[in-house]
Structure 1
Amino acid sequence: MPEPTAKETALTLTPEQRVIPSWNDPLAAAVTRPIGGPLGEHAVVGKHWFWSPVRVGLLLAVMALVASWFGKASCIQQYQDDQGVSQLDWRSGRPFVAMCYTDIVPLYSAERLNNPDTFPYRTSWTDNAGTPEAQTRYMEYPVLTGMFQWVNAKITHAWLKVAESGWLPSALPVAVYFDITAVWLALAWLITVWAVARTHRRRPWDAALVAISPIVLVHAFTNFDTLAAAFAATGLLAWSRKKPALAGLLLGLGAATKLYPLLLLGALLVLCLRAGKMRAWGTTAATTVGTFLVINLPFALLTPDGWQEFYRLNTTRPMDPDSLYNVVSFFSGWTGFDGVLARGETPMWLNFVSGTLFLACCAGIAYVGLKAPMRPRLPQLCFLVVAAFLLTNKVWSPQYSLWLVPLAVLAIPRWRVLLAWMVLDALVWAPRMFYYLGADHRGLPQGWFLGTVVVRDLAVVGLCMLVIREIYRPGTDLVRLAGDDDPAGGFLDGAPDKVPAAPREPVLSSNTAGPRPSVP
């Protein structure tokens, strides 16, 4: 009997069958060769008493997170000064030469977390005291992130008190603080890996890309962004399980950590409009906003000046070195939309232009979502929205790329393409560190750093074009080729459209499937 063709294979898949990466992805097949090659056609799958794709993914994530911690460990080493006092060893530009820089270390003292009587948004201090640039400052992060830092600082103080009695190992307070914070950030990324594996239940092995992403190796402990990524990923998982209130709760918690999970509501709105599922969207949106308000209102009412600090800084912040605006400014000599700004002056035109460009991108994404021949999958639109935000925003801190990792894996499960992008994005860290080292200390000129930024941005634009291509040509979408509609879609999965669209292209494509069927 002849072997089934790709089209026949896609048509015979059942919802219980699992997609096998070593049969369908060239990179996965190549990875398996040292251990015996792709899975055999008669192999027994899903019967091991312990190991499963999710647990293997979590093990890989633990290994990657350990490597990431070692990458930052150089920045918590200490030495004894001339008086015999232990100090943090950041001499001779160590954070940049060793490429171990992390915001967590300097923020411990910068946010006054090392003081036992500090409380976020109530405690203030003065920067540049005694100068015309003197300014009262507060905790500069959203409420949940600020409280996360404060709780870790309190755990650090308690740890050190117990360590004085010899029951626990001791170190510099900032080193203990970093390690405690890293534990929680690592747990958040493990939750992200788990959520991605559970969202696409027929493609659990794709979560391995989230686990071992080079971006995670570099940026898991650069800042606090794994927290928001975990809330966003679990919010999508809850929506895929048709639990709109839980999805809203998780997205609201994510928005109180970093604002970007709010962007996912826009993608949901477009798809729910097209599918006529506005009641579910309304429940999610109301719960998201309600959760955000419940967390923020007490601080906004009791400590309004401190609560506003995050929003004030984002308004007055100039274009970031990683932004496309800075790239254009450097290579063209352009002084920016606002010209030369005084210290602390708000870049009004830059804020307006970046906001307008993002809204224009959102309008284009909404048009695609409503008019594409086949309704896009939820992760596809979520990825486009978040990528558009990063590309048009005046700030792209390097750790923000973590936001894209789980969305990209859910939207474009092409291992070679995603791994190539992740490597490019992670490599931007090296020229960034040597640019910050300064030309006077044998660092890189700014142009070299900005050149890598352009390459990274072009890679993200390329991913966006690939997503749009698969939306308009669903026959090239590996998820739909395997017989699924929208595994992350929840109420949207398999729902008929209420908004008419262009005629559909057949889903099947002989160029994108392997010759063998998936197995249970």
Structure 2
Amino acid sequence: MQPDDDFGDTRSIEPAERVAPSLTGPLGKAAARTIGGPLGEHAQVGRQWFWTPLRIALLVGVFALMLSWFGKAACIQQYTTQDGKFELDWRTSRPYITMCYTDIVPLYTAEQLDKPGSFPYKTTWIDDEGKPTQQTRYMEYPVLTGLFQWVNAKLTAGWLDLGLAQAIPVAIYFDISAFWLALAWLVTVFATVRIARRRPWDAVLVAASPLVLVHAFTNFDALAAAAAAAGMLAWARRKPVPAGVLIGIGAAAKFYPLFLLGALFVLCLRAGKLREWQRTTVAALAAWLVVNAPIAYLYPEGWWEFFRRNTARAADTDSIWNVITEFTGWTGFDGHLGPWQTPSVLNAVTAGLFLACCAAVAVMALSAPVRPRVAQLGFLLVAAFLLINKVWSPQYSLWLVPLAVLAMPRWKILLAWMTIDALVWVPRMMYYLGVDHKGLPVEWFLGWVVVRDLAVVALCALVVYEIYHPARDLVRLAGDDDPAGGVLDGAEDRFLLRAGRAAPRRP
């Protein structure tokens, strides 16, 4: 066995060229004191046959995911009713008091997954029957996420048929879902290690992020994060078609991986590599169509439900638009709307602002002294979408974790942001508990949302600063141009928005 090369090539990176956090970063130096001090001058880096950075990062990820599962475990506890039946114990606002809430549990019944003959996008039900807000409902998630839930429901039914456990079905369903979601996040960790090249230890931040501890099993976002990270790894390995397929699969779970295509477009335009971008984009669209087309053809109304609900929903509690409304009394762009009336003006404003941010990122990418890195632009686009969008569900922050680590691997800053973002969960749960039940008023929750948003804005500002001051970019200081760049890595500029001599590729 080749030392330190257990899961693929290391792209000719010598062990001696790796960045040692215990020698370069203040947080790494402080942490190293508890395990014997920093890396020694004569240490044999890369000669360990088993405990490679990849395996250590994956092991850390396993422990973090175990802790995350225990954090949600209170929400799958059961009790025995007076007639001897098992029931889910969500009495006395248990999900909010213990802060274990996860969408996976209520969706099992809400999306009719517990029904033997149900199938996502085909099965319908009535919400608010007999009320003015009555409406016909279908599975509200993108196709891949919806099918993921359905397969797990069928696995749950099979598990029960085999008599392997005396537990309520929803508890088994949650555990099966959590198992696959944990594997998906480990794929994200794996991809981050392989992309980072000279800085593999940065992936520990992805493995043990406070956001993972809180939100790994809050919803199904780990699926899209894994596909996006794997797509970036394929692009980094100069495989544009597999990269596109993975990005398209990710977009079939959540739309945000498609933003990576926008980042790649402007970078490939600057480097004259549009042919590779075209191959990736075609592959991404083909993969998305392969997943979506059968459902759209067979059950068009059910397939459209995801788009309908996202168009019709109002500003979510975690969005900056709701913060402004609550603190100022402003009625919003659309004024007072009834339940599920489409906020058309808000939709147009958020779309316009996001397009403006995309244009600003494109101008920056084509005018910066050195071509920005893929992770830097990817992070800026996803962060801009979350900040401007009318919905920022708390688990969406997982999208940013691998991108942030690859874009700006400054451990103290990233851990500070991740902790702030993860702590939004506390006032959120206390707000849902209600003041009458010793919860917190909405102002505490919204105030922390503002702090979270400001932290993300600060990260964006630091990324932009490093784009325009590449000598401050820790990745480039380590000797790389763009580890995630693939064909862009070390490529010469072919198109710039301004005349003038470009800065050296490696400051």
- 1:170–1:176: 8 Å Cα contact kept in structure 2? no
Equivalence for 2:63: 63
Q: Which of residues 249, 258, 261 in structure 2 aligns to 1:265?
A: 261
- Greater displacement, 81-90 / 170-179: 81-90
CA contact 1:475–1:506 (8 Å) conserved in 2: no
Equivalence map 1:202-221=2 (5 Å) = 202-221=198-217
| Alignment-derived partner of residue 427 in structure 1 | 423
Shift of 1:77: 0.4
Aligned-residue offset at 1:508: 7.9
Aligned pairs for 1:438-517 (under 5 A) are 438-500=434-496, 501=498, 502-504=500-502
Cα deviation, 1:425-456, whole Å, max 9, x if unaligned, reads 00000000000111221111111100000000
The answer to whether the Cα contact below 8 Å between 1:474 and 1:506 also exists between their aligned partners in 2 is: no
Q: CA–CA distance in 2 between the matches of 1:417 and 1:469? A: 15
Does the residue aligned with 2:87 lie in a helix, a strand or coil?
Answer: strand
CA–CA separation in structure 2 for the residues paired with 1:322 and 1:173: 31
Where do 5+ consecutive residues of structure 2 fail to align?
1-12
- Correspondence list, 1:393-432, <5 A: 393-432=389-428
Q: Which amino acid aligns with 1:109?
A: T
**Which residue in the other structure is 2:91 paired with?**
91
Listed as ranges, the matches of 1:157-196 within 5 Å are 157-163=157-163, 168-196=164-192
* Residue identity opposite 1:24 in structure 2: T
Q: Determine helix, strand or coil for the equivalent of 2:180.
A: helix
Query: 2-side partners of 1:73 and 1:110: how far apart?
Result: 20
SS in 2 for 1:93: helix
Q: 1:476 to 1:14 in 2, by over 3 A?
A: farther
- Name segments (4+ residues, structure 1) moved above 2 Å: 13-16, 500-509
In the TM superposition, 1:53-452 aligns within 5 A as: 53-163=53-163, 168-452=164-448
Contact map agreement 1:434 1:444 (CA 8 A) in 2: yes
Q: CA deviation at 1:170?
A: 2.4
CA 1:389–1:312: 2 relative to 1, 3 Å: same
Could you say which residue in structure 2 is the equivalent of 1:26?
26
Can you list the C-alpha shifts for 1:55-92, whole angstroms capped at 9, x where unaligned? Answer: 00000000000000000000000111222211101011
SS of 1:423's equivalent in the other structure is: helix
Percent sequence identity over aligned pairs:
65
Matching residue's letter, 1:356: G
CA distance, structure 1, for counterparts of residue 311 and residue 275 of structure 2: 34
Distance 1:360 1:14 in 2: 42
Shift of 1:16: 6.8
Deviation at 1:128, TM superposition (A): 1.1
Separation of aligned partners in 2, 1:487 and 1:15: 16
Relative to structure 1, is the Cα distance of residues 171 and 374 closer, same or farther in structure 2, using a 3 angstrom cutoff? Answer: same
Q: Is the CA contact (8 Å cut-off) linking 1:481 and 1:507 kept in structure 2? A: no
Code of the aligned partner of 1:472: Y
Following superposition, the deviation at residue 169 of structure 1 comes to 2.5
- The 1:508–1:260 alpha-carbon spacing in structure 2 relative to 1, beyond 3 Å, is closer
Cα distance in 1 for partners of 2:303, 2:166 equals: 34
AA aligned to 2:370 is M
Could you tell me which runs of 5 or more consecutive residues in structure 1 were left unpaired when the two chains were aligned: 1-12, 510-520
Q: How much does 1:133 deviate?
A: 1.7
| 1:311-334 Cα distance to aligned partner (Å, 9 max, x none) | 000000100111000111111110
State the TM-score, normalized to the length of structure 1: 0.93
* 1:119-154 deviation digits (Å, cap 9, x = unpaired): 010000011112222110000000000000000000
Report the RMSD for the aligned CA atoms in angstroms.
1.3
Whole-angstrom CA distance in 2 between matches of 1:205 and 1:449: 34
Q: 1:31 to 1:218 in 2, by over 3 A?
A: same
Distance, in Å, in 1 between the alignment partners of 2:149 and 2:14 is 47
8 Å Cα contact 2:73-2:100 kept in structure 1: yes
Count how many residue pairs are aligned between Structure 1 and Structure 2.
493
CA shift digits 1:200-239 (9 cap, x unpaired): 1111111000000000000000000000000000000000
Displacement of 1:503:
4.5
Deviation of the 1:48 alpha carbon: 1.4
Query: Is the 1:119–1:150 contact (alpha carbons within 8 Å) kept by the matching residues of 2?
Result: yes
Distance in 1 separating the partners of 2:200 and 2:261: 25
Give the letter aligned to residue 116 of structure 1.
Answer: P
Give, in whole Å, the separation in 2 of the partners of 1:14 and 1:176.
46
Aligned-partner Cα distance in 2 for 1:310–1:62: 32
Does the Cα contact within 8 Å between 1:473 and 1:507 map onto a contact in 2? no
TM-score when normalising by structure 2: 0.96
- Aligned partner of 1:518 in structure 2 is none
Worse overlay, 374-383 or 493-502? 493-502
CA distance in 1 between partners of 2:506 and 2:24 (Å):
15
Q: CA deviation at 1:504?
A: 4.6
Measured in 2, the distance between the counterparts of 1:444 and 1:139 equals 32
* Aligned mates of 1:420, 1:252 — CA distance in 2: 32
Query: Conserved in 1, the CA contact under 8 Å of 2:143 and 2:303?
Result: yes
- Stretch moving more, 43-52 or 392-401: 43-52
- How far apart are 1:398 and its partner, in Å? 0.1
User: Residue 6 of structure 2 corresponds to which residue in structure 1?
Assistant: none
Q: Partner of 1:82: helix, strand, or coil?
A: coil
Quote how far apart the aligned CAs of 1:268 are.
Answer: 0.3
Deviation at residue 14 of structure 1 after TM alignment = 7.1
